[in-house]
Chains A and B, each alone.
Chain A
């Protein structure tokens, strides 16, 4: 289930502001209530892919520890993509919610 939505999850995690890979993972875990137990390394191909698509930008910074660190941020198209995907997701979620919470599905066509 997660695979198809990883891009949306990463974009949403960066909505609050720029962050490095580990911080993004932590944000995803915290905000999802630990629901997504994905291998942490899979975030990096997704970040790279989103950067190639122009939805993220990145730059090297130096952490307090002195290590070099890559920090990612949403670009303007990234903000737009997040808004669009969020709207699609909300419509989908409402539709499924309506189906599951509504009347029982037809067993056979009329």
Chain B
């Protein structure tokens, strides 16, 4: 049936523009098809082919509709990046503190010859971690100060997200340096000791830190990729 192909093609063209959000894309495809069939059936009796064409014209330009969806998506991602950043930094902080507390409780000190290296690494670790915290707080402050309503122009959301992604990227890099530093410090404490079940505690806390940093990097990367797609859609 030609009419059904026309409707499917239109829904597909809109859904393809929403690839930056696959679940939204699937949902919109289904809704658009239902809408167009309904509009076709409700139209004046006569040529069905013309009724479908009229329904498609009345629905509007898929590019314009996709751009409106993209605006809402950008606004949402901005908050998502901010919240993820804070949760991840908080997670790393808790794991780091728990590990240090464990060392103190278990009296796992450093040997004399490792102390200089550990001090240097520890200094870099602390600086990197606090840089990451400052960038995270700056990101949240930016979100609160530069609030934009959901109905704001797409360019406003794009700029907010771009600035926030920059702050988050700096925070993620600093956090990664800090996690690597923690890894080195953990290795320095484990080296030379006989393996025991106690090793699992600092190692699992390190795994949590690495996972947290990974989540932040992965979410930033995924949003950057989708944002590039979205802004390309909005420019054309």
**Bound state CA distance, A59 and B138, in angstroms?**
38
B interface: dominant SS: helix
**Bound state CA distance, A48 and B72, in angstroms?**
8
Q: Does B218 contact A (CB under 8 A)?
A: no
Q: Does A40 contact B (CB under 8 A)?
A: yes
| CB neighbours of A41 from chain B (8 A) | 14, 32, 35, 59-62, 64-65
Shortest beta-carbon distance, A28 to chain B, in Å?
13
Q: Tell which of A20, A39, A46, A70 touches B27, judged by Cβ atoms closer than 8 Å.
A: A70
| Chain B: interface residue total (CB-CB under 8 A) | 28
Greatest chain B CB density within 10 A among A7, A42, A48 is at A48
**Bound state CA distance, A72 and B34, in angstroms?**
14
Q: Does B215 contact A (CB under 8 A)?
A: no
Q: How many A-B residue pairs have CB under 8 A?
A: 71
**Contact A69:B34 (CB < 8 A) given known A39-B60, A41-B59, A45-B65:** yes
A interface: dominant SS: helix
Q: Does B76 contact A (CB under 8 A)?
A: yes
| Chain A: interface residue total (CB-CB under 8 A) | 23
**Bound state CA distance, A63 and B42, in angstroms?**
15
B30 touches A70 (CB 8 A): yes
Q: Does B222 contact A (CB under 8 A)?
A: no
Greatest chain B CB density within 10 A among A21, A41, A52, A70 is at A41
Q: Does B150 contact A (CB under 8 A)?
A: yes
**Bound state CA distance, A81 and B194, in angstroms?**
64
Shortest beta-carbon distance, A10 to chain B, in Å?
12
| CB neighbours of B28 from chain A (8 A) | 44
Q: Does B204 contact A (CB under 8 A)?
A: no
**Contact A4:B151 (CB < 8 A) given known A40-B60, A42-B68:** yes
B residues 10-42 near A (Cβ < 8 Å) are: 14, 24, 27-28, 30-35, 37-39, 42
Residues of chain A touching chain B, judged by Cβ–Cβ distance below 8 Å, are 4, 7, 20-22, 26, 39-42, 44-46, 48-49, 52-53, 63, 65, 67-70
